[in-house]
Amino acid sequence: MRSILRFIKFLIWSGLLLVAACVAGLYYYAHDELPLEKSPVTFELRAGSSLRNVAAQLAKAGVISRPEPFEALARVLGESAKLKAGNYEFSRPLTPLSLLQRMTRGDVNLVAVTFVEGWTFKQMRKALQDNPKIRVETAAMTEAEILEKLEISQPLGEGWFFPDTYHFSEGTSDLAILRRAHQLMLRHLNQEWERRAPGLPLKTPTEALILASIVEKETGRPEERGLVAAVFINRLRIGMLLQTDPTVIYGMGESFNGNIRKSDLTTDTPYNTYTRAGLPPTPIAMPGLEALRATLNPASSDALYFVARGDGTSKFSRTLAEHERAVTQYQRRGRK
């Protein structure tokens, strides 16, 4: 009996020592400074990402050496469900604990700017200039000069920056943030292009980005993105005019006063898809990731038309006759 009791005591003490060793090891890990492989390191924490996925991404980005201890630390502290999505930049070495805190509660030395899906480049510049924590270097620059600084070989900056929340240290320049947003757009665009459905009438990633910007502006409800994309893909396949108002409005520039008239639809500009076939010459806004995905993997549909119902949703139709009936039902009747 005594031998059994001694064995039980041994097991208990061994367990306690093991727990103590784990706690001590985790404490040491939490407060040990992480050497960054490069500086600065940028990291995108996507909405809905699991803790395990986030830890793996941090390790891949070179922010932490191994994902398992970081995951264990977050679970022990009960922070696994508090990680906030966004695009982070780490310019100085930090401890795993401070890293976790930065991505959950934020950091007093960390500020953010958000670029919204569907924004234009002009709106992006305003958001940067209005943020007092950002060092603005582009205020006196033309758009062409900004693109040259960023080494972006495009006629306009429109659409070439990814909409997201960017976290950075106070005093970061607007050019640095724009560079991060551009690199992130290129990464997402190239990834989605590689995953595109076969047989699309899109020859290049640039064409995909242009169409995705139209899908972004035309979608009232997120769940309809795939159908909206399908309509435009179907039209491109048969050589039908896209006839989309957002491109006309973009082409009107400062002359647009909030109302689009019939004369605007017949006034030719490079962006008037009522007078010109195919895609406009550039994107018209920043498409988000879901718009890119919908454009390159549209819903299975033979619809060629859609009209707003007035409640944020759209009625999709296969034929012009069906479309005319829908227009009468949801728009013309409302004007009487």
Render pLDDT for 155-197 as a digit per residue (tens, 0 to 9).
999 999 999 999 887 788 999 999 999 999 999 999 999 999 9
The more confident residue out of 8 and 310 is 310
Q: What are phi and psi of 259, to 5 degrees?
A: -125, 140
What is the DSSP annotation of 108-155?
Answer: TTEEEEE--TT--HHHHHHHHHH-TTSB---TT--HHHHHHHTT--SS
Please give the Cα distance from 69 to 211 (Å, whole number): 43
Q: Return the residue matching tokens 């919204």.
A: 116
pLDDT in tens, 106-120: 454 568 899 999 999
pLDDT value at 332 more than 70: no
Residue 278: pLDDT band (50, 70, 90) is very high
Tokens read off for 140: 């006196």
The arithmetic mean of pLDDT across residues 302-306, rounded, is: 92
Residues of the chain with pLDDT > 90: what percent?
Answer: 51
Residue 336: pLDDT band (50, 70, 90) is very low
Residue 335: pLDDT band (50, 70, 90) is very low
Sheet containing 41-45, strands listed edge to edge, beginning at the edge strand earlier in sequence = 41-45, 86-90, 165-169, 110-114
Please give the Cα distance from 218 to 169 (Å, whole number): 35
Residue 13: pLDDT band (50, 70, 90) is very low
Q: Find the helix or strand (DSSP H, E) in which 89 lies.
A: strand 86-90
The most confident of 62-71, 173-182, 255-264, 314-323, by mean pLDDT: 173-182
pLDDT in tens, 232-258: 999 999 999 999 999 999 999 888 888
Q: What is the mean pLDDT of the chain?
A: 84
Residue-level pLDDT at 82: 75
Of the listed ranges 6-10, 301-305, 310-314, the one predicted with least confidence: 6-10
Q: Find the helix or strand (DSSP H, E) in which 185 lies.
A: helix 174-194
The arithmetic mean of pLDDT across residues 290-310, rounded, is: 93
Could you give the angle at which helices 205-218 and 289-296 cross, rounded to 10 degrees? 110
What's the maximum distance between 2 C-alpha atoms anywhere in the chain? Answer: 100
pLDDT in tens, 34-66: 766 666 777 777 777 788 888 888 888 777 777
pLDDT in tens, 118-159: 999 999 999 999 999 899 999 999 999 999 999 999 999 999
Looking at the whole model, is its pTM more than 0.85? no
